[in-house]
Amino acid sequence: MAKLQVAIDLLTTEEALALAAKVAPYVDIIELGTPLIKNMGSTVITAMKAAHPDKLVFADLKTADAGELEADIAFKAGADLVTVMGAAGNATIIGAVKAAKAHGKGVVVDTIGYPDRVKRAQEVTALGVEFVELHAGLDEQWTPGYSIQVLIDEAARAGVPVSIAGGVNIDNVAAVIKAGAIVAVAGAAIYGAEDPAAAAKALREAIDAA
């Protein structure tokens, strides 16, 4: 069964915990967004895992160097999954995977900004990562002409475990799952909704029906 990941791009631990409390019944993975971690530090990871020990806590570190060291910090704080940039060298990804193995946790590679996301996804899967995030970041989403369809098409031909992030919402989540993504990542569609719990519930139901 495909998973739903809520991406929390809020800026304080208090706000993140409040949102997670509302949407936890409907999500499998709670992502602490990069701006949130930069603002609050690893204490937000510890607070979220303590509040939701039954969920996978995803620390969106977007590590570009010192893979083993940065991943180790997040795993010690309570993360289950951390991200490393696909644009980083293989040595960085291998270092993070080493830390993950030591903690019994996992690494996700984020392909944001990478020119050939599918090729990189296939390469890094061989390095032992859990899955690869086919990702159009917020800046790319706000570029005129952006469509999530490009990520959906990439997922369909990736042939390795992938998630999709970059404007997932109730109108496209079924296509995301039908394309083969094992995780649908939804940020603004949940935290920006008038009723985040209802938005998460609707996404959950659409994923389960897809």
Sign of dihedral through CA atoms 99, 100, 101, 102? positive
165 lines the binding site for ligand LJD2ZHX5 (CB under 6 A)? yes
Per the document, the length of the chain is 210
Six token digits for residue 26: 């409907």
Subset of 22-51 contacting ligand LJD2ZHX5 (CB under 6 A): 33-35
Return d(Cα 97, Cα 127) in angstroms, integer.
8
Shortest Cβ contact with ligand LJD2ZHX5: which residue? Answer: 187
Binding range to ligand LJD2ZHX5, per CB under 6 A, among 17-25, 66-74, 94-102, 159-167? 159-167
* Minimum gap (Å) between residue 178 Cβ and ligand LJD2ZHX5: 18
The CA distance from 46 to 43, in Å, is: 5
Shortest spacing between CB 184 and ligand LJD2ZHX5, in angstroms: 9
CA distance 58 to 144: 29
CB 89 within 8 A of CB 124: no
97 binds ligand LJD2ZHX5 (CB under 6 A): no
Tokens matching residue 110? 């984020």
Kindly determine how many residues on this chain lie close enough to bind ligand LJD2ZHX5 according to the rule CB under 6 A: 18
Residues in region 176-205 near ligand LJD2ZHX5 by CB under 6 A? 185-189
Cβ count within 10 A of residue 171: 11
**Among 67, 86, 95, 166, which residue sits at the site for ligand LJD2ZHX5 (rule: CB under 6 A)?**
166
Contact (CB, 8 A) for 165 and 195 = no
| Closer CB to ligand LJD2ZHX5, 74 or 189, in the complex | 189
15 or 98, CB closer to ligand LJD2ZHX5? 15
**Based on CB atoms, which residue is closest to ligand LJD2ZHX5, 138 or 160?**
138
Per-residue binder mask for ligand LJD2ZHX5 (CB under 6 A), 133-152, x = binder: ----xx--x-----------
Q: Alpha carbon of 173 to those of 30, 123, 208: distances in Å?
A: 17, 26, 10
What amino acid occupies position 13?
A: T
Cα 126 from Cα 128, distance rounded (Å): 6
Contacts with ligand LJD2ZHX5, residue ranges (CB under 6 A): 7, 9, 33-35, 60, 137-138, 141, 165-168, 185-189
